[in-house]
Amino acid sequence: MLDILVNIFKTLLQIWSSLTNDQKDSISKAFTDLFEDLFRAYYKENSGGAQ
């Protein structure tokens, strides 16, 4: 099982290293925007529940 995870990680690392800096920046920005939107939505839904 661990071998499968290591191979997946190696494959992703090879793909990542073959990308240009512009492509890496674009992917990083997309992930950041996605998670920012998810965290904002989660916070808005749960902002009054914990207090």
Phi, psi (degrees; rounded to nearest 5) at 48: -95, -10
Section 40-46 average pLDDT: 87
C-alpha to C-alpha distance for 29 and 35, rounded to whole angstroms: 10
Over 90: is that where the pLDDT of 26 sits? yes
Please classify residue 37 by burial: count the beta carbons closer than 10 Å to its beta carbon, then call 0-12 exposed, 13-18 middle and 19+ buried: exposed
Please classify residue 28 by burial: count the beta carbons closer than 10 Å to its beta carbon, then call 0-12 exposed, 13-18 middle and 19+ buried: exposed
Q: How many domains does the chain have?
A: 1
Residue 26 structure tokens: 């674009």
Section 23-30 average pLDDT: 95
Section 7-17 average pLDDT: 96
- pLDDT recorded at residue 48: 58
> Residue 35 is part of which domain span?
1-48
